[in-house]
Amino acid sequence: MIRLLLENFQIAVTAIVGGKIRALLTALGIVIGILSVTLMGTLISGLDQSFEKSMSFLGRDVFFLSRFEWFGGQEWWEVRNRPKFKLDYVDKLKEQGKRIETVAPVMERGLDVSRGEESVVGVRIFGTTPEYQRTTVVNIKHGRFITEGEVRSGSRHAVIGWDIADGLFGNENPIGKDIKLGNHRFTVIGVVEKQGKFLGLFSLDNQVVIPIGTYQRLFARRGWMRMNVKVDADHVNEAEDEVRGIMRRLRGLHPQEKDNFAINRQEAFRKQYNMIKYAIGGTGIFITVLSLLVGGIGIMNIMFVSVKERTREIGVRKAIGATRNMILGQFLLEAVLICVLGGAIGMGLAWGASFFIDKFIPSTMPVWLAIISVSLSVVVGVIAGLIPSYKAANMNPIEALRYE
């Protein structure tokens, strides 16, 4: 059995090498199909890694209370007319919420940050409290975070992101040094460790955190505010109902009135992400199926031609004792090898392209994806080569020997 397989393999390889240009052109559809499915899988794998890393920044047990929904599609005029959040909501949420662990008010705006001749533009300035550290991922690399005393006193202390520290200080230790937020001088008390980009859209390292009292006094006393609410991780859905009820009371809403606030969770991002992922997957599968179908038809056609050209060879092999299964296996293996060759080229191209993709999102080619690609190639080869191989195996040896 093994000797027969090796003999058929040798014959198939000889036939492919003898017509290598024809074999490569025939396998082009398989190359495109495998390239599509492999690139799609690599892209989705990279997106999954990037997405999960970004979602860890939000936290499954953290609500983001705001005047607008992240993906609600609500009218701008309606959102604009909603009442602003008040700072005293924080204490009332803590007092009334049984499943609320902590609440951090957050005010935000963009500013340029400078030190001497050096500057970093488009920095996000956050005014908040020490609870902010419990509601999001803020791991301090050097120094410390802001304290409650600094919030009460309105001190000009700042915790800076990694990009700010690198852009303004380089290899110098920034702790205790002064920077300017706009026209206001602040002292650096902490540096957040490098976090990367959120969903590949904006850097989490290009931000500065200051006490919320200082923010209100210097930048926007009545500015836009949101609240990060950390809840009991074992009762997230119940906590959402509780937070909604408290907020409706604080906003003075009647039972028939709609919410004039939003409780945003990471599930909103997951829903949107899954829609994007399914769209990419659906497009990739459509291109793959279409390419493999065209490639399979091309291989079937070329195998019919090959059987016709080698009719006399088939007659000779049958005359010296080759069985139907031997002839069937010979041509079937040839079709499979052409498909596997196309699949290997497609995977090689996708592997090279994955290095380019990795510059934008972390991506690798999973082992299971390579196995699926090879398996698809084999399946297409078997399907495409079955009918021509069956025709070759059932040839009458006498008529085949007479063929010119």
Instruction: State residue 342's pLDDT score.
Output: 85
Nearest to 390 by CA among 303, 294, 295, 293: 303
Q: How confident is the model at residue 1 (pLDDT cuts 50, 70, 90)?
A: low
User: Is residue 334 predicted with pLDDT exceeding 70?
Assistant: yes
Residue 27: C-alpha distances to residues 23, 334, 337, 385 (Å): 6, 12, 10, 13
Q: How confident is the model at residue 299 (pLDDT cuts 50, 70, 90)?
A: confident
Residues 6+ apart with CB under 8 A from 363: 42, 43, 45, 46, 49, 354, 357
User: Is residue 19 predicted with pLDDT exceeding 70?
Assistant: no
pLDDT one-digit tens code per residue, 363-383: 777 777 778 888 888 888 888
Domain residue limits, the chain: 2-54+271-402, 61-264
Instruction: State residue 79's pLDDT score.
Output: 72
Residues 6+ apart with CB under 8 A from 394: 324
Residue pair 99/232 in contact (Cβ under 8 Å)? The answer is yes
Burial 69-95 (b: 16+ CB within 10 A, else e): eeeeeeeeeeeeebeebeeebbeebee
Token pair, residue 84, equals 């602003």
Q: How confident is the model at residue 131 (pLDDT cuts 50, 70, 90)?
A: very high
Please tell me the pTM assigned to this model: 0.70
User: Is residue 276 predicted with pLDDT exceeding 60?
Assistant: yes
Instruction: State residue 205's pLDDT score.
Output: 86
Choice between 153 and 27, residue whose per-residue pLDDT is larger:
153
Mean pLDDT of 340-361: 81
Distance CA(294)–CA(287), nearest Å, equals 11
User: Is residue 403 predicted with pLDDT exceeding 70?
Assistant: no
Instruction: State residue 199's pLDDT score.
Output: 66
Instruction: State residue 150's pLDDT score.
Output: 92
Q: Which of 20-24, 43-47, 114-118, 136-140 has the lowest mean pLDDT?
A: 20-24
Residue with tokens 């080698």: 310
Residue pair 159/127 in contact (Cβ under 8 Å)? The answer is no
**Max mean pLDDT range (7-16, 203-212, 365-374):** 203-212
Choice between 22 and 350, residue whose per-residue pLDDT is larger:
350
pLDDT one-digit tens code per residue, 54-106: 776 677 888 999 888 877 666 666 777 788 888 889 999 999 988 999 999 99
Q: How confident is the model at residue 214 (pLDDT cuts 50, 70, 90)?
A: very high
Nearest to 299 by CA among 395, 373, 400, 389: 389
What percent of the chain is modeled with pLDDT above 90? 21
Diameter of the chain by CA atoms? Answer: 104
What percent of the chain is modeled with pLDDT above 70? 89
Q: How confident is the model at residue 107 (pLDDT cuts 50, 70, 90)?
A: very high
Mean pLDDT of 32-36: 84
Mean pLDDT of 243-251: 91
Instruction: State residue 347's pLDDT score.
Output: 85
Instruction: State residue 376's pLDDT score.
Output: 84
Mean pLDDT of the chain: 83
Token pair, residue 319, equals 């005359």
